[in-house]
Amino acid sequence: MTTKNKPWGGRFKESTERLVEEFTASIHYDRRLYRHDIEGSIAHCRMLARQGIISADDEKAIVQGLADIRADIEAGTFIFSVEDEDIHMAIERSLIGRIGDVGGKLHTGRSRNDQVCLDIRLYLRDEVRSVIDLVRCLKSSFLTMAKDEMGVIMPGYTHMQKAQPVLLSHHLLAYWEMFDRDEQRLEECYERVNVMPLGAAALAGTTIPLDREYVAELLQFPRITKNSMDTVADRDFIAEFIFIAGLLMMHMSRFCEELVLWSTEEFGFVEISDSYTTGSSIMPQKKNPDVAELIRGKTGRVYGNLVSILTVLKALPLTYNRDLQEDKESLFDTVDTLVGCLSALSGMTENLTFKREKMLYEATGGFSTATDIAEYLVMKGVPFRDAHEIVGHLVAYCIENEKKLESLSIEEFKGFYEGFSKDVFDRVTVERSVNGRNIPGGTSQEMVMRRIREIE
């Protein structure tokens, strides 16, 4: 296309290389912002008219033209062309084509530099809200599971070694806490996204007497940005969102990893329903936890997007530089990945069957109540380090003689420490062990129920 037809073509004599047009274009992905671009333009136009910068007739023509463009895009009849470079120029070109020179008044007091910031903020504001809804949904699935599985005992692990028995509900609610923090972070991110940038123009503001507050009001932004240079250079809110998305993905990946392990024959703690698993093309017996694996794998993409945006921003001098156009694909990909994973995980968690007996059976092995016996001795006045040593000897004795702590006689206990009495038998069962940890934040049934009541 000759530069004569470009909105910025005035000072150019030669036309743009086709390769350069293609290389610099972002229209193939930023067209996704069309709705927000039009919404922002309508607000800008109304403000221009209210300020007496354009006439009421111009306003009417422009608003109508923009609405028609939106309808065409939604009907699929709008022709996107690489020559338009980006969604902002595509819409402006089409507007001028439809309503004539009047269309050229829309860009008064505005630059694509502040326009693109507005579009992304409008877009992300919507997306953050829907992500928050999905996180709430996920939290409520975890809460439901925790209630349904109340009383089920399983081994708690450290170093992937059996450590102490816990309630399955306590384990599940650990994820509720993670997702709750994610939700709080999203709410805070929303506040920083929800700021109106228009009026910064290219970088320094404009001589045209715009009413920024009025535009903010029309678009329901509670605040406007405070420094025009920061406004067009700032993509912190994108990096912040992707970071939060990364944490959310990481939290989901940890649960998914547990599902992968727990659904093995070796663990046998859970069955993922057929509708959330897939088979093998060669091994007829297989039922694979692909959904969990994909969520785990997609976590890597989101981390990649975070590194990508941070690297684009690193050492970038003020203010707008074309590098910033590289912000959008990481953002869009993050939103799509996150939304997909949140929905898939919510669905999958509603279709899990926990193998309660197997969990209980595994919780009773591995000397998982050894700490309880040590704590029992502590309450009898034995210093903790000595108690640790005594119980260590007991465990070694059990291993040598192929016994369990539960099956030792009182004489055997006394052989290691004279002060043991029969009440020690109360401490060796996993039920007592779990319910004994009756401290705020602990795994006893009473405390877990208390937390559930607090949540509700």
- Residue 127 beta carbon to ligand ARG: minimum distance, rounded to whole angstroms: 17
> Can you tell me which of 66, 96, 116, 200 binds ligand ARG, judged by CB under 6 A?
116
Q: Residue 429: which region, alpha, beta or left (left: phi > 0; alpha: psi -120 to 50)?
A: beta
Under rule CB under 6 A, residue 11 binds ligand ARG:
no
CB 57, CB 103: distance < 8 Å:
no
Rg (CA), the chain: 31
Helix (H, G, I), strand (E, B) or coil at 223: strand
- Residue 93 beta carbon to ligand ARG: minimum distance, rounded to whole angstroms: 14
Token pair recorded at residue 181: 């923090």
> How many of the chain's residues bind ligand ARG (CB under 6 A)?
10
> Can you tell me which of 159, 314, 322, 453 binds ligand ARG, judged by CB under 6 A?
322
Q: Which of 110-118, 176-184, 234-242, 433-441 is the region at the interface with ligand ARG (rule: CB under 6 A)?
A: 110-118
* 271 backbone dihedrals φ, ψ, rounded to 5°: -120, 125
CA gap 388, 370 in Å, rounded = 9
Nearer of residues 28 and 385 to ligand ARG, judged by Cβ: 28
Site string for ligand ARG, 25-44 (x = CB under 6 A): -x---x--------------
Token pair recorded at residue 146: 């925790």
Return the number of other C-beta atoms located less than 10 Å from residue 265's C-beta. 5
CA gap 23, 437 in Å, rounded = 62
> Can you tell me which of 41, 94, 113, 308 binds ligand ARG, judged by CB under 6 A?
113
Under rule CB under 6 A, residue 112 binds ligand ARG:
yes
Nearer of residues 26 and 364 to ligand ARG, judged by Cβ: 26
- Residue 37 beta carbon to ligand ARG: minimum distance, rounded to whole angstroms: 10
Count of H-run helices and E-run strands, the chain: 19, 6
Which residues pair with residue 134 across a beta bridge?
A: none
Q: Which of 76-84, 99-107, 109-117, 286-294 is the region at the interface with ligand ARG (rule: CB under 6 A)?
A: 109-117
CA gap 322, 174 in Å, rounded = 43
Nearer of residues 73 and 146 to ligand ARG, judged by Cβ: 73
- Residue 21 beta carbon to ligand ARG: minimum distance, rounded to whole angstroms: 13
- Residue 261 beta carbon to ligand ARG: minimum distance, rounded to whole angstroms: 43
- Residue 208 beta carbon to ligand ARG: minimum distance, rounded to whole angstroms: 18
CB 169, CB 146: distance < 8 Å:
yes
Under rule CB under 6 A, residue 324 binds ligand ARG:
yes
Site string for ligand ARG, 52-91 (x = CB under 6 A): ----------------------------------x-----
The structure tokens 């404009």 sit at: 206
> Can you tell me which of 228, 325, 330, 334 binds ligand ARG, judged by CB under 6 A?
325
Token pair recorded at residue 189: 């991110």
Nearer of residues 27 and 247 to ligand ARG, judged by Cβ: 27
CA gap 193, 189 in Å, rounded = 6
CA gap 92, 84 in Å, rounded = 9
368 annotated active-site:
no
Cα 126 versus chain centre, distance = 14
The CA-CA-CA angle for residues 40, 338, 220, to 5°, reads 25
CA gap 84, 5 in Å, rounded = 10
Token pair recorded at residue 143: 């809460």
Under rule CB under 6 A, residue 114 binds ligand ARG:
no
Under rule CB under 6 A, residue 319 binds ligand ARG:
no
Catalytic option among 280, 407, 409, 421: 280
CB 196, CB 219: distance < 8 Å:
yes
159 annotated active-site:
yes
Residues recognised as catalytic: 159, 280
Residues forming the site for ligand ARG (CB under 6 A): 26, 30, 86, 112-113, 116, 320, 322, 324-325
